[in-house]
Amino acid sequence: MFTNKNNTILWLMFLFAFSFSLDTSNIVVVVLSQHEGYHAAHAKLLKDKIIEETLAFDQNPPKFIFTHEEHVNGSWTYFPLITILYSRFPKADWFLFCLDNTAIKFQGLVKLLDSYNTSKDYWLGHALYDKDPTIIHHFTDQPKKLKYPNVASGFAISNTLMKSLNSRLKIFGIPETDFSIDASYEFANYIFNKGKNGTRLTHVPEFCGFFTTNCVTYPKGFHVCANSVSREKIYVAVKTFDANHQSRIPIISKTWLKHVKNYGLFSNIEDKKLENVIIVPNTKEGHCAKTYAILQHADKILQSRGIDWLVIADDDTIFSIARLTRLLTCYNPNNPVALGERYGFRVIHDDGYEYLTGGAGLVLSAPLVHRIVESTACQCPKSTTPDDMFIFGICLNKVGVRPTHSPLFHQARPIDYSMNYLSSQEPVSFHKFWMIDPIQVYEHWFKEADNELQSTWQHTEL
Ligand SMILES: *[C@@H]1O[C@H](CO)[C@@H](O)[C@H](O)[C@H]1NC(C)=O
Ligand SMILES: *[C@@H]1O[C@H](CO)[C@@H](O)[C@H](O)[C@H]1NC(C)=O
Ligand SMILES: *[C@@H]1O[C@H](CO)[C@@H](O)[C@H](O)[C@H]1NC(C)=O
């Protein structure tokens, strides 16, 4: 009554179901999920797929935690989650942390985890390390190379390690840090405990940086959600001032800005050599007044021209406009959306907050721009207040909007990141013309992607 194919499937199911002793319900899958619809939907897809798989193999589904449902500030830094997770699931064998775009082959993962003894301190994942001290890791120079996980590949912590982290946090409290930048690195630094008696991340090749056949986890590549967003629907505001007109504007004009349909160069003085200069108050530091003036100006432009998105960039931000238009297909411009790279300022302490860091470039939907300029809560305390921390952190909070984090935006230069990390994604931006050739960075990382844009554009123009 069974076909050969069915027999094979049954036999495979039998093999799988009995080839490991680990009870799958003793695994806690912790998705560092986000409120925004696209990201929340992906977290749900990940969960549904794993549940479906466990049901097909007659296993108990694992436990799931979506951090966006936990209402814990700074859960993306991991620290606040440890105590919550350990007290809720003290008997869990494994805690698997991942992102909404992590692909998990659950049967393979369970089989792999089953080969480790959960009564020992284990931390398994896809290890990254720095060649040189880097700004995004606070220039910490590690005597022994610190391995830190690529969280998009997921990482697993054994019960015993979770227990000791929990008691360490209970005794000594959450470490005092002002800035949270690369949470996986900062967490790894804590777990490693300067090599004294901490635990090193174990690199497991099956936790992959990109898909190959033996992977049990890997970061899913980005896929567009609809046809590319028209460049007519994007307005780019470049923050600049006279001293950079000659040195930086020609570089961005030659590389990415030429792909932009609507833009303004927000500067302190007019310049006959430049088009689209808009005068805004300048400040030597902080730039809050300047960025606020940009928002006021941009609000009028977006409203009058029916433009959906405002991009705010520094004059030394480097973009792929093609990838940006693809990325924006996944977000709804009618919602209040703030998209960019998330940093934290004392985010795990009561007085802290998260914000979008300015240099990486950031994107705001038109309704959000309007909401910000309408709200008295968003007026700068001082003209020199740090613009990103205030406007894209404190002010967003006050107008009830959470920033949406995209790891594709980068506050630093390509050389500041681990190459294995960058090769596991398709970056949208980099930042800073400092000891690098920005044209070379553009050509290496973005030109090919943007060329396609040019050809479709020429095609439709014909
Ligand atoms: C697992 O580790 C614990 C503690 O080191 C040890 O007592 C136990 O025998 C180990 N179990 C197996 C199956 O190796
Ligand atoms: C690690 O060392 C610290 C002191 O540096 C100590 O308080 C702590 O209990 C140790 N932890 C373990 C797991 O041995
Ligand atoms: C979380 O942060 C927000 C804004 O920074 C703050 O208003 C709120 O009280 C914090 N919640 C908790 C539980 O600390």
Interval 167-177 mean pLDDT: 90
pLDDT tens for residues 412-433?
999 999 999 999 999 999 999 9
The ligand that comes nearest to the alpha carbon of residue 196 is 2
The tokens for 70 are: 């936990």
pLDDT at residue 462, as a whole number: 39
d(CA 123, CA 220): 22
Average pLDDT of the residues of the chain: 93
| Ligand 1 atom closest to 118 (CA) | 1
Average pLDDT over residues 11-20: 56
In percent, the amount of the chain with pLDDT more than 70 equals 93
pLDDT tens per residue across span 220-278: 999 999 988 999 999 999 999 999 999 999 999 999 999 999 999 999 999 999 999 99
* Ligand (nearest to CA of 393): 3
State the Rg of the chain over Cα: 24
What tokens were used for 32?
Answer: 């560092």
Quick check: 179 pLDDT over 60?
yes
Q: Cite the beta strand spans of 84-219 per DSSP E.
A: 94-98, 102-104, 123-125, 127-128, 148-149, 155-158, 179-180, 202-203, 217-219
- Residues 334-346 pLDDT 10s: 999 999 999 999 9
Which pLDDT score, from 0 to 100, does residue 284 have? 87
pLDDT score recorded for residue 272? 96
**166 in contact with ligand 2, CB cutoff 6 A:** no
Mean pLDDT of the region 59-84: 96
Q: In this structure, are residues 24 and 54 in contact, taking their beta carbons and an 8 Å threshold?
A: yes
Tell whether the model's pLDDT for residue 197 goes beyond 90: no
Q: Answer yes or no: pTM beyond 0.85.
A: yes
Q: 96: CA distance to ligand 1 center in Å?
A: 21
Tokens, residue 123:
């931390």
Residue minimizing CA distance to atom 7 of ligand 1: 119
* Nearest Cα residue to atom 9 of ligand 3: 350
Domains annotated for the chain, with CATH where assigned, are 24-219 (3.90.550.50), 231-461 (3.90.550.50)
Q: How far is the CA of 120 from the centre of ligand 1 (A)?
A: 8
Q: What is the pLDDT of residue 9?
A: 58
Helix ranges restricted to H, 19-145: 37-56, 79-88, 106-113
Q: How confident is the model at residue 1 (pLDDT cuts 50, 70, 90)?
A: very low
CA angle 447, 448, 453 (to 5 degrees): 90
Q: Is the dihedral of CA 318, 307, 304, 398 positive or negative?
A: negative
Which residue, 230, 251, 226, is CA-closest to 307?
230
278 CB-contact burial (10 Å; exposed 0-12 / middle 13-18 / buried 19+): middle
In the reported structure, the alpha carbon of residue 6 is separated from the centroid of ligand 3 by a whole-number distance in angstroms of 54
pLDDT beyond 90 at 149: yes
- The answer on pLDDT for 41 being more than 60 is yes
Q: Helix, strand or coil for residue 423?
A: coil
Cα gap 338→369, rounded to integer Å: 9
Q: What is the DSSP letter of 333?
A: T
Collapsed DSSP state (helix, strand, coil) of residue 12:
helix
What confidence tens digit (pLDDT) does each residue in 122-148 have?
999 999 999 888 999 988 876 568 999
Average pLDDT over residues 344-349: 93
Mean pLDDT, to the nearest integer, of 175-193? 93
Does 306 score more than 70 pLDDT? yes
Which atom of ligand 3 lies at the shortest distance from residue 72's CA? 13
Ligand closest to 194 (CA) is 2
Q: What pLDDT, on a 0 to 100 scale, did the predictor assign at position 204? A: 98
What is the mean predicted confidence (pLDDT) over 438-456?
90
Element (H, E) at 334: none
* Residue ranges of E strands in 306-381: 309-314, 317-319, 338-340, 342-345, 353-356, 362-365
For residue 87 and ligand 1, the question of a CB distance below 6 A is answered with: no
The model's confidence at residue 194, banded by pLDDT at 50, 70 and 90, is confident
- The residue whose two tokens read 């549940």 is 51
Nearest CA to ligand 2 atom 2: 197
**Comparing C-alpha atoms, which of 32, 126, 50 is closest to residue 424?**
126
Pocket test for ligand 2, best of 168, 169, 171, 191 (most atoms within 8 A of CB): 168
198 C-alpha to ligand 2 centroid (Å): 8
- In this predicted structure, the answer to whether residue 3 has a pLDDT above a threshold of 60 is no
Q: What is the dihedral of CA 79, 80, 82, 83, to 10 degrees?
A: 140
Could you tell me where the DSSP H helices lie in 287-435?
Answer: 288-305, 321-327, 366-374, 387-389, 396-398, 419-422
Of the candidates 107, 110, 173, 186, the one whose C-alpha atom is nearest the C-alpha of residue 142 is: 186
